[in-house]
Structure 1
Amino acid sequence: MDCTENDITEDNLEENPDDTLEENCDEPTSKLSSEFKCNECDYETTAARYLKAHKKNHKEGKFGCIKCSYSNHKPYLLKAHIAKVHQIEKIDFIYEREKPDVKYYLCQHCPFLSSDEDAVTSHTQSKHKNKGSGKKRKVEREESNDELIDDPIDEENEFKCTRCTYVTKRKIYFEDHMSGSLNFVKCPWCDAHFKHSAKGKLGRHLTSDHDVTKVDNKWSCQHCENDFEKIRDLLHHLAKTHNFGTMLHCQKCDFSSVDRRNLVVHAEFHNTAEFPCSQCDFMAKSKNRLRKHVYSSHKQTECPVCKKSFKNMQEYFNHSKSHHGARPVCDICGKSFSCAGALGTHMKALHGDENLQCEMCDFNTQSQSSFSYHMNTRHKGEIYYCDTCDYNTPRKGNLTAHIKNKHQNIKHTCDVCDMKFTTSVAMKRHKKIKHSTDVVKFKCDEAGCAYTTHALYFLKTHVEKVHKGIRWPCDLCDYVGGYKGDLNRHKKIVHEGFILDCSWCEFRTPKKYHLKEHLLKEHGIEETS
């Protein structure tokens, strides 16, 4: 039988020699059912690591409190307990629970500790020599947070949001929430607030006050078995899935979100053009876009070859294409470029011998841009979530496009035939191919063939399929596609099981246009997204 990631294997026991099979599960049959049970309470889980973390609740910690029977394995949690429960702010050392005569001296600026007092002193002098004493830093923090000191907790009154269930007893937090300033993050379970720049304090608060656990450097949800690498992803999950959290509101419309990043993305929809061009009626949304407009539309230039003058750069660029010969073309893929330098960059990136290998996975590419995109989207850990559906993406621009296309139904319409497109790029490509009055640039040279196109890539694809007989066979079955897109579509449907379900009946199809026809014919619903 193959082992799963939840199974306890001999390798796991070798890595953790102090943990026995009985310590991790109640009985050997748990391994076969992939269910791990605590032998001291009714706790059950499907992952051994969750059970291991849970087991610590039944054991006494390594370090003990000198004032009570509390103990913990983590010194910083014990330190937080002593400060909160026993009101002792400065803690110079702690004891081992089983060896009270062994002292561990603590650094007052970071989690460092040592049984050698001189080592802690040396550490403080070398690592924190510019930070000063703890008392001085506390005064500095209080001076930097005057607004919190001047705004005490109002025990009699509560400030309530009129748009959601947000409640607080501090006026400054309430004003921040209502104004949309987003300077503070509220704990999902209590009235504690933390500055956005102090996510570490929020994490320590959740761990010490609300028993939120962090297993294998991932935050675990208390209500399900989902793990999250970042605390903001956990907060988004709690708010969206379990209704624990604070809604954030747009001040210009009725939009609300549980995620601060989504509110920032939404704010871009309200951006208005505020930078007018001094030479025409154009209005730009930013200074950079205004500069680009002035450069392309109003900068006069002269052709260095024929000395002809042009009133803007766009006219010069169009002139240079027709006046100075054809654009450089890649001999391998057929893509054309505005200059030889751009072609050289393309050849080096896509068709060169240098191969870029990702150190974190098996991905490799010859393109620096593709490699950078892979690293940013696969290993950066930044995830943007949609509030309306389960869509998530590592790119902010993708989330913006998703919201426009799927939930705001923003379409780009062709002004010639009224055909709708989800992106402006697709609409412009459609107009160029279907409605352009320009002279066709590329014609098939084969005898008797009248094929024409505006793009060299399409001509190259046409020649390969029609005249050279190039086909794309599937490596998993006997299917052979005429185009590479046909092969990709075949694999997605046949071998990956892609399917679309009708939400009104049991109809199923792998093709989106078939589903649209079914919805319109059988249910009278016009699918626009």
Structure 2
Amino acid sequence: MEENIKKESDVKERIIEDTCFVDIPEDGIKLENVEIQGENVVTEEDPLYSQPKRTKKSKHEGEGYPCSECDYVATKAGSLKRHIEYKHEGVRYHCKQCDYVATQAVHLKKHFKSKHEGVKYPCKQCEYAATQAGDLKKHVENKHEGVRYPCKQCEYAATTTGGLKRHIESIHEGVRYHCKYCEYAATQAGALKKHVKSKHEGVKYPCKQCEYAATTIGDLKRHVESIHEGVRYPCKYCDYAATQTGDLKKHVESIHEGMRYPCKHCEYAATKFNNLKRHVEIKHEGVRYPCTNCEYAATTAGGLKSHVESKHEGVRYPCKHCEYAATTAYHLKRHVKRKHEGVRYPCSNCEYAATTASVLKRHVERKHEGVRYPCKQQVI
């Protein structure tokens, strides 16, 4: 009898210490409980000795979760499911109170809270109010705590970990996302996605109040707010008013905070990170975007697009206030601001008022800061 007790205790110790799996005949197993030597042991998980969770493994170990209908490979089963629903099954989540259509249920939930329930997350240190808790957290870290994520390879410091990751991939690792339909190569996956939708799938989001058609929902939203609702984001330091929050942020950083992005190859310092990126590509890497219809080569993808639309496709952007027709959307926007809205950019040092921000910048540099740009060609 003592030997039996000793053997039983040895088995329990080994099970606890080694976490072994013991084979039990199927005849001795019941769904409710298990009978072991006359004792009733309820089959509940012991909180102290619960078995480790078993994670599902992909059939393609190390390859992720491949889509059976295209070349997409997800890193998670849930991501694959969302991909199939969105891309191949066309699943959409429609808002019951407006025309918004989400590709994921969580996006619809955020939209409803923000737009229709008026849920806001106010900042305790300033007047900012975020529509999502995550955005508020980023705002506090960025604006009030001064959190930065410095790059180890240059002097750049990002405000988010995602921004730092994108910077390293784009600038230092040369990561590009190539389009399988054309020669376009994006520096970010999101930019490639927008490109495919706009250029190859023909996805457009038409405005109900005019003939404008945006390539993204975000662009349509900004168009409606700026053109039809007259939404402006005023600067608290000067009279400048931006049509987008991103433009206001760039304005404050550039004009009032003096933020600069220095080039490591020369003495150039940009006021915007994207300008630095373009400068490096154009001046030091010699990046060009050749036109397939003529010998023209643009220095930016946007420049090539404008060239093709203007020169080869005859695209025009007519003004609804007069007979003017612009060759680019930017030129039309600038025309409307200058001619019909009377937008001016006053100089804080004198009575001069410019019609564009760039003209004001040049005025300040030349008249008040004494900046000069010497000609590189010697006069003989």
TM-score by length of 2: 0.43
Please identify the structure whose Cα radius of gyration is greater: 1
Choose between structure 1 and 2 for higher RCO, CA contacts under 8 A separated by at least 6 residues.
Answer: 1
TM-score by length of 1: 0.33
